[in-house]
Structure 1
């Protein structure tokens, strides 16, 4: 699918660089590549500077060498070495927060790569939601009552009381945008909040103590819930391995909303199967669907067979509010580039 359209958003205040001023009416072409980018283009076309020429290609297999060669602004969350060369690209605007699917070596040198946010609220709500669902045994109680009219968990039959999160200790790995939003909400629910972070951060705003990441082993045994909110990179790949899983309480809940590869896949499955940890809520995975397997299982292991796992298909941040906030950031940054204004959300430069 490709459509050429001629198509002005909220400002954000983040790390930025200045670019040479240019005439907003000069000819410049933006390529929105991939299904998420195509949806973004359709959502923001009215916000973009009218003189900007836009190509929308939902299926990367339909990208022609001519379109790629004429692109000044690349808007996508994926760029691979086998795509046609794009020698004119001067800005890569990701439609996601992570940029690990963009193969930077295939792009021209000196190109800023910017990401987009807006997902912090939704993901923080998800973390608190699964904490509540887990502690209140909501899934099993609701299911048994619906299917079997079971009153066993109730005071009516002197059932065993379920839990609550007030007074629990939450350990957050990665005190960035998402981690901070999780901390604020958990503190309101009466949780004790600890955090571990790669760079130094002060405690406060709901967080009792911040550990350096290399002191993570000190924090893990203290936690009733561990929430992984850190960015993915060499320092965090397989950060949670078999050894660290043994440091977590046998009753604890592990929540991953970051990237699957931060946890050792084999070790986590074994720990959940064998009861080394109490349970897990997993929203990010090791395997994703593709054209050949649109309903591909998210792991080599049958996590779906384990009763102590809450599974969702990488949708914790996918809310209507997040989509609108992210679209506005993307439109704002594209317009900044066209006008020669400072860019926001710069992650790196090729």
Structure 2
């Protein structure tokens, strides 16, 4: 995506009526720019759409940012120009820990969006199935004439995902989507959450989040889906890993900081748990070409972890669903309506 410092106006019609009141919508950074293609066609009026880079290096960039009515982005603090006309700061995802809420203009709404739960649930099930259905190993062996997994042989019998129990930390959009698919595979589902869900049709056992460690000894898989907040930072600590089965599989598709970095590394290195699938991390690249390890600790040297680059929710479907919600929020504020997914400031 090539960033531009000039705006583009694209007129769209709704019931043959073109609005006269335009707003400036700024897409700030590479992440936000992903949602720009097709965005104008979802709007009820012709609005000014501006693409800005992550680093606002020029005076023109900073002025465009400062005069935005809507900003779509993932980072905000007092190092950025004050957006004096801001009506809506729209995060193009669920997590808003990169936004310093206290620095936003008082009258501006802060909203997030979801739509990633389907993709993340598929990632989770794919990862877990890989532990029970060794397609890659079977393929590699058969290419050498090795029939280890042949039905009828004593050495190649597999385990089944449906015979295991999953424990899910957090029961929001992601937790619910994972639970639904886990039940479809026949798994037993335990959930630890702040509040008890009204619909518990997908849940076999519920635990208060403050008592989540009591759940850990009873499950084979632990999946963190919690966002990062003051009360979740470092929640999964050394005591939590010590409470898990030695055969446990741990997965993090929530925020990296929810899991204590040293405790996770130690649990894997010392064999307190059997395996981990980690998609959310502690260090991220400073730019698209930066070579960056995801932690200050050498997770990449461990053999009992599968590492992925925060990819679990990033699909065409996620982009489309989020784009639709964000465009609808622009339409709503232009109509004097409250946007959806407002975050209390």
The two structures share one fold, judged by TM-score above 0.5: yes
In 1: Cα distance, 2:327 partner to 2:288 partner: 33
**Aligned residue number for residue 16 of structure 1:** none
Structure 2, unpaired ranges of 5+: 13-17
TM-score of the two chains, using structure 1 as the length reference: 0.89
For the aligned residue pairs, the C-alpha RMSD in angstroms reads 2.3
Structure 1, unpaired ranges of 5+: 10-22
CA contact (8 A) 1:65 1:85 kept: no
1:72 corresponds to which of 63, 69, 76:
69
Alignment of 1:1-350 (within 5 A): 1-7=4-10, 24-62=19-57, 64-138=61-135, 141-142=137-138, 144-145=140-141, 150-154=146-150, 158-202=154-198, 204-291=200-287, 294-349=290-345
In 2: Cα distance, 1:243 partner to 1:150 partner: 43
Distance 1:321 1:146, change over 3 A: farther
Cα distance, 1:167 vs structure 2: 2.1
In 2: Cα distance, 1:105 partner to 1:204 partner: 36
In 1: Cα distance, 2:115 partner to 2:201 partner: 20
Distance 1:211 1:294, change over 3 A: same
In 2: Cα distance, 1:287 partner to 1:95 partner: 20
Distance 1:146 1:46, change over 3 A: farther
Q: Residues 24-63 of structure 1: CA distance to partner in whole angstroms, max 9, x if unpaired?
A: 5224222111112122122312212333222111333346
Cα distance, 1:316 vs structure 2: 0.6
Q: Residues 76-123 of structure 1: CA distance to partner in whole angstroms, max 9, x if unpaired?
A: 111232122212212101111111111223221132111111111111
In 2: Cα distance, 1:117 partner to 1:8 partner: 27
Cα distance, 1:202 vs structure 2: 3.7
Cα distance, 1:136 vs structure 2: 3.1
- After superposing the two structures, state which structure 1 stretch, 224-233 or 152-161, moved more: 152-161
In 1: Cα distance, 2:125 partner to 2:148 partner: 26
In 1: Cα distance, 2:216 partner to 2:138 partner: 31
CA contact (8 A) 1:241 1:263 kept: yes
TM-score of the two chains, using structure 2 as the length reference: 0.90
In 1: Cα distance, 2:197 partner to 2:252 partner: 21
Instruction: Specify which structure has the bigger relative contact order, considering alpha-carbon pairs within 8 angstroms and separated by 6 or more residues.
Output: 1
- After superposing the two structures, state which structure 1 stretch, 340-349 or 222-231, moved more: 340-349
Secondary structure in structure 2 of the residue aligned to 1:180: helix
Q: Residues 193-246 of structure 1: CA distance to partner in whole angstroms, max 9, x if unpaired?
A: 010001222462321122110111111100100111122211111111011101
CA contact (8 A) 1:260 1:284 kept: yes
Q: Residues 281-332 of structure 1: CA distance to partner in whole angstroms, max 9, x if unpaired?
A: 1111111001397120111122222221111111111111111111111111
